Amino acid sequence: MHDVMHGRCDPRFRPVADRFSAFLADEPALSAQLSVRWHGEPVVDLAGGPDLGRDSVTGVYSATKGVAALVIAMLLDRGLLVADRRVRAYWPEFATAGKGDVTVRQLLSHRAGLPLVERRLTLEDLVDSRPAAAAIAAQRPLWRPGSAFGYHAVTIGILMEELVRRVTGTTLQEVYETTIRRPLDADFHLGLPETKDRRYIPVRDMEPTDEQAAEIAARPPADAIAEAVFDNFAAPDDRSPDGTSTNNPAMRRAGFAGIGGVGSAAGLSLLYSAALPDGAMRIAEPGVFAEMAEQHSWGTDRVLGIPNRFGMVFMLPRPRMPYGGPGAFGHDGAGGALGFADPSSGLAFGYVPSPMQYPGGADPRSVELARLASIAAESTRPTRRGPQ
């Protein structure tokens, strides 16, 4: 292995490690963690580069959504949520301004027309999303629910949190901590304890090449909806100069379900392993995850303006991000992180880079590494050792 890379790799997955090593060697400023589990067995656990060690944790932006979705899966499995029941059955105040017939399924598949809050969101809104949820309940959708879909980049975190509060009486973060993270001892937090701050590596801004910067500058202007969605935040002030990034301690402690998760690639792969039939723990029956991974939304994303594909919460493989086979489900993050489970191959995958990577969303390197892991899995007969 290249001397900037450390960790371990099962010989059957050596091509994955070799490619990861080559990425680090080709770009000395890149740091990354890579973790792959196969039928519950850890087969790749690597890190390298100047910033990230195997013990590091950092912010992963929207890769958090896939972790929060595990809580939704558990509630669906237990019958506390029913996908085709109207949201108003759980959250009566939601049934205003044309939203009375919106189902949980529509709400969680980015189809409800609620990708922004009709006022500027503050850090406080993400630390405690109840006021923002009340604002969403009172507003009219930007499109007729079900007529289109568009990435609810921040608001889906608010919506998930409110649904969990309504059906459990506690927070999504508490349900996650007590029923998923702690039993698994997963190195991924929706609310990083202060005692673990010594392991936290600050998120660093993208450092594009001149060519990449020119491409970003040449992108066509966003339409009114997209511009409003990504301008939905109040500007940082002197009290919170890091804004809503997990570099802000208040955001790290809150673990907002949309973008506030902090963890490692190993934490992501372990969590997604628990979403597979033979993984580390049974979060929900396989049929629940299969239903959540069904294609609910496909086509041009009304917010992002690109071809996109969603299940319930989960971002599914698509031409721009072909990370897994049919039935795979996961989520990427703005900084380049990617986590997913693939029932067809038995893989659970986690990748976390630093700094944030061009072009935004999953680092293209992660998709290539996932493809190599899939090839290795397909060419090797599984050795069933049980959960690790």
- How does pLDDT run across 138-190, given as a tens digit for each residue? 999 999 999 999 999 999 999 999 999 999 999 999 999 999 999 999 999 99
Q: Tell which wins on pLDDT, 205 or 382.
A: 205
- How does pLDDT run across 73-82, given as a tens digit for each residue? 999 999 999 9
Return d(Cα 105, Cα 114) in angstroms, integer.
14
**Does residue 20 surpass a pLDDT of 90?**
yes
Average pLDDT value for residue range 194-219: 91
Q: What is the pTM of this model?
A: 0.94
Across the chain, mean pLDDT equals 93
Query: Three-class SS of residue 158?
Result: helix
pLDDT score of 3: 57
194 confidence band (pLDDT: 50, 70, 90)? very high
Which residues 6+ apart lie within 8 Å of 381 measured at CB? Answer: none
pLDDT score of 241: 44
Measure Cα distances from 350 to 43, 176, 277, 317 in Å.
Answer: 12, 18, 18, 15
pLDDT score of 359: 87
Backbone angles phi, psi at 271, to 5 degrees: -65, -45
- Domains of the chain and CATH, by start: 5-378 (3.40.710.10)
Q: Which range has the worst mean pLDDT, 20-24, 140-144, 227-231, 314-318?
A: 227-231
- Choose from 57-61, 320-324, 355-359 the range with maximum mean pLDDT: 57-61
